[in-house]
């Protein structure tokens, strides 16, 4: 069987189309850079959008694979490949915001508070709204400020316009620089990351290579510690 490296060597003009959900854009960017270094002859075409939009693009042959938040996409034609089982999402606010000074927050405390969230096709938006509803927040309903760009959403949060839910790696710099503060939720939010491909798609070594690199970028694949010397 031809391996991924040989496949890439034989098809220098081939392109790989990848859909990446905005939630995991930071990790996926690392995988993209690594892929380009290993396979300079392969043209990468990247589309960034929400997880459910990525799933639709995979189904409609618009992309060869997608990196998404693990969720129920309810389509038998899709195959999910685990990339990372446990990724932390954090709810953040401007460091100067009154809500950032609270010592403890439950989801019910977000009732009526502005939430900077992605579109309805965003898996992270669905996650936070389901958590808020399960926490007993029904009236007043959360005030949703919808944005299509995580960068624009973070700017709004930094300006004190509301709170936002992001992958920890997306906002870690802003947290270190004290522009944002992680809100002390009583229950942490963890999600998985999956790669989506069509079940009927032919074997694609390039896609498999990118998925492998994505696992490394998310930290799923780690180098084994060296074995201890005998007698130590």
Q: What is the pTM for the complete model shown? A: 0.84
Give yes or no for a cis peptide into 6 (omega within 30° of 0): no
Q: Please name which of 160, 129, 158, 133 lies closest in space to residue 144, comparing C-alpha atoms.
A: 129
**SS3 call for 81:** strand
Q: Taking phi first (over 0 means left), then psi (-120 to 50 degrees means alpha), and beta for anything else, what does residue 80 get?
A: beta
Strands (E), the chain: 15-21, 43-49, 65-69, 78-94, 114-117, 143-146, 163-167, 180-182, 189-198
Go through the domains of the chain in sequence order and give each one's CATH number. 4-86+192-218 (3.40.190.10), 87-190 (3.40.190.290)
For the chain, what is the largest distance between any 2 Cα atoms, rounded to a whole number of angstroms? 66
Task: Give me the helix-helix angle, 25-38 and 168-176, nearest 10°.
Answer: 110
Long-range pairs for 145-150: beta carbons < 8 A, 24 or more residues apart: 145/114, 145/115, 145/116, 145/117, 146/117, 146/118, 146/119, 147/116, 147/117, 147/118, 148/118, 148/119, 149/22, 150/22, 150/23, 150/25, 150/118
- Cβ–Cβ under 8 Å, residues 187 and 17: no
Could you list the pLDDT tens digit for every one of the 232 residues in the chain?
445 554 444 444 489 999 999 999 988 889 999 999 999 889 999 999 999 999 999 999 999 999 999 999 999 999 999 999 999 999 999 999 999 999 999 988 888 889 999 999 999 999 998 888 888 776 566 788 999 888 999 999 999 999 999 999 999 999 999 999 999 998 899 999 999 999 999 989 999 999 999 999 998 644 333 343 334 3
């Amino acid at each position: 069987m031809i391996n991924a490296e040989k496949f890439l060597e034989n098809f220098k003009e081939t392109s790989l189309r990848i859909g990446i959900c905005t939630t995991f854009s930071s990790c996926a960017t690392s995988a993209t850079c690594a892929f380009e270094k290993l396979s300079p002859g392969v043209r990468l075409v990247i589309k960034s959008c929400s997880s459910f939009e990525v799933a639709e693009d995979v189904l409609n042959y618009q992309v060869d694979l997608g990196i998404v938040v693990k969720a129920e996409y309810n389509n038998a034609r899709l195959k999910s490949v685990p990339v990372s089982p446990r990724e932390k999402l954090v709810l953040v606010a401007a460091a100067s915001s009154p809500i950032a000074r609270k010592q403890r927050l439950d989801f019910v405390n977000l009732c009526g508070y502005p939430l900077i969230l992605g579109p309805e096709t965003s898996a992270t938006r669905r996650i936070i709204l389901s958590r808020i509803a399960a926490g007993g927040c029904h009236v007043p309903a959360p005030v949703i400020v919808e944005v299509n760009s995580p960068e624009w959403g973070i700017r709004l949060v930094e300006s004190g316009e509301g709170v936002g839910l992001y992958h920890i790696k997306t906002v870690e710099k802003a947290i270190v620089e004290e522009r944002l503060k992680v809100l002390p939720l009583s229950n942490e939010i963890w999600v998985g990351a999956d790669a989506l491909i069509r079940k009927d798609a032919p074997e694609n070594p390039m896609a498999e290579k990118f998925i492998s690199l994505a696992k490394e970028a998310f930290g799923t694949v780690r180098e084994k510690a060296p074995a201890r010397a005998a007698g130590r």
